[in-house]
């Protein structure tokens, strides 16, 4: 098995490499990368590895930006000193989320999870992979069922099940229900996505979060992008970039 480590601290990278070798000497570390820029370049220029170990905080930014710039098809085990990114990790083929300092038992569990998902085949069942990680993420988080939103001189509960999509319009966040009613939200899109069930909501792009049940169909768009059509009217087209088309398909067909 060929693996890549993306980690900007040499001591942490060396420790991880040593632990991997102790647990499974069949794992070949083909690259140790330290920055977002180097990682994007390496992924573009080399065959995809079987597995990636990725630190979230790198010297030149968040490793999540790597996946906005290049399509990564292999599973990922995230490593981090922080625990608030588990839901975000789900969005990019993560199969596990290890908190630093990484210990041997946790790493062994993560490697076993990879082997179990792969089974006897030469490729992972990504729907199974995504499903298992979502189940684990749900155990770690309680998702909002209601948001308190202003209506005239009151605050009223808006059930999340009534939200068809959420979008940003001139720096104002709005939630639109299936009946077409618009509510103003106090949270930004990043904050809201952390509080919404990722089975039911998808961050389509920088402007839109969409509900699973609101998707009517999908149109092929320029440059291998897609345009998502909802059962309620939107002020502009909802375009998903080429790099995130597979992610959307996996989410929508779950």
Per-residue HEC secondary structure of the chain comes to CEEEEECCCHHHHHHHHHHHHHHCCCCEEEEEECCHHHHHHHHHHCCCCCEEEEECEECCEECHHHHHHCCCCCCEEEEECCCCCHHHHHCCCEEEEEECCCCHHHHHHHHHHHHHHHCCCCCCCHHHHHHHHHHHHHHHCCCCCEEEEEECCEEEEEEHHHEEEEEEECCEEEEEECCCCEEECCCCHHHHHHHCCCCCEEECCCCEEEEHHHEEEEEECHHHCEEEEECCCCCCCEEECHHHHHHHHHHHCC
Q: Which domains does the chain have, with CATH numbers?
A: 2-140 (3.40.50.2300), 146-252 (2.40.50.40)
pLDDT tens, position by position, 166-214: 999 888 999 999 999 999 998 889 888 888 888 899 999 999 999 999 9
Q: Which of 23-27, 38-42, 194-198 has the lowest mean pLDDT?
A: 194-198
pLDDT tens, position by position, 72-127: 888 899 888 765 555 555 556 678 888 888 889 989 988 988 887 776 444 445 44
Rounded Cα distance between 4 and 75, Å, is: 11
State phi, psi for 84 to the nearest 5 degrees: -90, 5
Displacement of CA 4 from its chain's centroid (Å): 19
Report the chain's C-alpha Rg in angstroms: 20
Q: Report, as an integer, the average pLDDT of 220-229.
A: 92
Answer for the pair 167, 176: CB distance below 8 angstroms, yes or no.
yes
């Amino acid at each position: 098995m060929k693996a890549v480590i993306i980690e900007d601290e040499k001591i942490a990278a060396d420790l991880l490499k040593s632990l991997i070798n102790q647990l499974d000497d069949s794992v070949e570390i083909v690259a140790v990368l330290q920055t977002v820029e180097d990682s994007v370049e390496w992924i573009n220029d080399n065959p995809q590895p079987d597995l990636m170990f990725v630190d979230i905080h790198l010297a030149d930014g968040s490793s999540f930006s790597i996946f906005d710039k290049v399509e990564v098809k292999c599973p990922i085990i995230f490593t981090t000193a922080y625990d608030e990114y588990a839901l975000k990790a789900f969005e990019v083929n993560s199969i596990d989320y290890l908190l630093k300092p990484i210990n041997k038992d946790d790493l062994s569990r993560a490697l076993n999870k990879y082997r179990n998902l792969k089974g006897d085949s030469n490729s992972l069942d990504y729907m199974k992979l995504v499903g298992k990680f979502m189940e684990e993420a749900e155990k770690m988080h309680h998702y909002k069922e209601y948001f308190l939103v202003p209506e005239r001189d009151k605050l009223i509960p808006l059930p999340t099940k009534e939200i068809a999509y959420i979008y940003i319009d001139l720096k104002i966040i709005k939630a639109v229900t299936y009946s077409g009613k618009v509510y103003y939200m106090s949270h930004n899109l990043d904050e809201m996505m952390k509080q919404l069930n990722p089975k039911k909501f998808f961050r389509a792009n920088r402007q839109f979060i969409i509900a699973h049940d609101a998707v009517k169909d999908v149109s092929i768009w320029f440059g291998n992008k897609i345009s998502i059509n909802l059962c309620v009217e939107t002020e502009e087209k909802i375009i998903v970039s080429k790099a995130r088309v597979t992610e959307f398909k996996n989410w929508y067909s779950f």
